[in-house]
Structure 1
């Protein structure tokens, strides 16, 4: 019987190894799998290459993973924001490597990995520093840069609902990079707020089929009081 429900975050992340490439979903703070990132910090894997839209906000979530010294390199589109002080300090001191990728290229490089595409030509970044050292080609009078897929050893994503086969649906903008990252990684772990019976998810509404998902973990919705105080706990 196929059952991809993990007993806990720790159980779902037990196999993450040092040196792994970890794809982490989220767009800004929308759809960040915070519980999985906290679990990865507790799990202890180090020397990681992290792929995300940005380089963390404040000192929680992805920023906490960076602050813990677990990340060797980050591949992202927006490394610097008003509250990216953790990344800034690490980068300025030479303790983290950055690969800057335009956002459309980032999404397409991840999608290409999941689709089995060996490489592709894209016009974005031609003639800029981001194209230095890369193969270029003129096609029908337009210049392109050769880009390669981004494969992940692990993908950590946040979904809304799932079943024991690993089929997933998402909530609004929390969807963002999750679906393409799930296809591009060897091992995908997703948090969900609700685990439903098989058949309860409309097949037309399933965004990520279970074939791309290794483990799912149920977590509670986090409510807040005035002042942003968290009043609910996460659960397995």
Structure 2
């Protein structure tokens, strides 16, 4: 019997090794798997490469992971935003590497990994420092830069509902990067607000099929209405 539900986030993240590439869903507070991030800090994996939309705010969530010294390198679109003092301190001290990836490129590079695409040309970044060292070409009179997929070892994502097979439904904008991160990752761990019986999810609402999910964990720390924003 297929049952991907585990009793705790710590157990779900137990296999993440040092040096892993870890993608974390979320756009600000919307869809951020805070319980999985806290479990990753407790689990102890270090020397991680983090793939995310931003580099964290305040002292919680991604910022707490960075502050714990677990991240060696980060790929993100918005490393500096209101309250991103942890990342800024680490970066200025030379304690973390940064690759800035424009948001559309971030999404497409993750999607490319999930779809088996070897690379793609995009006009985004051409003629800027972001294109330095990258192949470029002119197609139909327009300049493009070659970008490669972002392959992920583990994706930590947040969903509203899931069943024991790992089928997932998201809540509005809390969906954000989660579906493409799940596709790009070899192992996806999803924190869900509610676990439902097989057949209870409307197939038309399932965004991430269970084939892309290794484990699910039910959140117990906050009420469902507070877990996802959007």
Q: TM-score, normalised by structure 2?
A: 0.96
Residue of structure 2 equivalent to 1:134: 134
Assess if the C-alpha contact under 8 Å between 1:193 and 1:221 holds in 2: no
Can you give the 5+ residue segments of structure 2 that lack an aligned partner in the other structure? none
Can you give the 5+ residue segments of structure 1 that lack an aligned partner in the other structure? 224-229
Structure (1/2) with the larger helix percentage? 2
Deviations 1:104-148 (A, max 9, x none): 000000000000000000010000000000000000000000000
Q: Distance in 1 between matches of 2:13 and 2:137?
A: 42
Single out whichever of 8-17 and 212-221 deviates more from structure 2.
212-221
Aligned counterparts, 1:59-138, within 5 A = 59-138=59-138
Residue of structure 2 equivalent to 1:6: 6
The alpha-carbon deviation at position 222 of structure 1 amounts to 2.1
Q: Secondary structure at the match of 2:203?
A: coil
The alpha-carbon deviation at position 167 of structure 1 amounts to 0.1
Say if 2:193 is the partner of 1:189.
no
Q: Distance in 2 between matches of 1:114 and 1:204?
A: 21
Q: Distance in 2 between matches of 1:28 and 1:165?
A: 28
The alpha-carbon deviation at position 177 of structure 1 amounts to 0.2
Q: Secondary structure at the match of 2:72?
A: strand
The RMSD of aligned alpha carbons is: 1.4
Q: Distance in 2 between matches of 1:119 and 1:197?
A: 39
Q: Distance in 2 between matches of 1:220 and 1:12?
A: 15
The alpha-carbon deviation at position 221 of structure 1 amounts to 6.4
Q: Distance in 1 between matches of 2:132 and 2:188?
A: 32
Q: Distance in 2 between matches of 1:5 and 1:128?
A: 45
Aligned counterparts, 1:166-177, within 5 A = 166-177=166-177
Residue of structure 2 equivalent to 1:156: 156
The alpha-carbon deviation at position 82 of structure 1 amounts to 1.7
Assess if the C-alpha contact under 8 Å between 1:55 and 1:79 holds in 2: yes
The alpha-carbon deviation at position 70 of structure 1 amounts to 0.2
Q: Secondary structure at the match of 2:74?
A: strand
Aligned counterparts, 1:198-217, within 5 A = 198-217=198-217
Q: Distance in 1 between matches of 2:15 and 2:89?
A: 30
Residue of structure 1 equivalent to 2:40: 40
Q: Secondary structure at the match of 1:159?
A: strand
Deviations 1:172-223 (A, max 9, x none): 1110000000000000000001000000001111000000000000013625
What is the aligned residue count?
226
Deviations 1:135-173 (A, max 9, x none): 000000000000000010000000000000000000011
Assess if the C-alpha contact under 8 Å between 1:120 and 1:148 holds in 2: yes
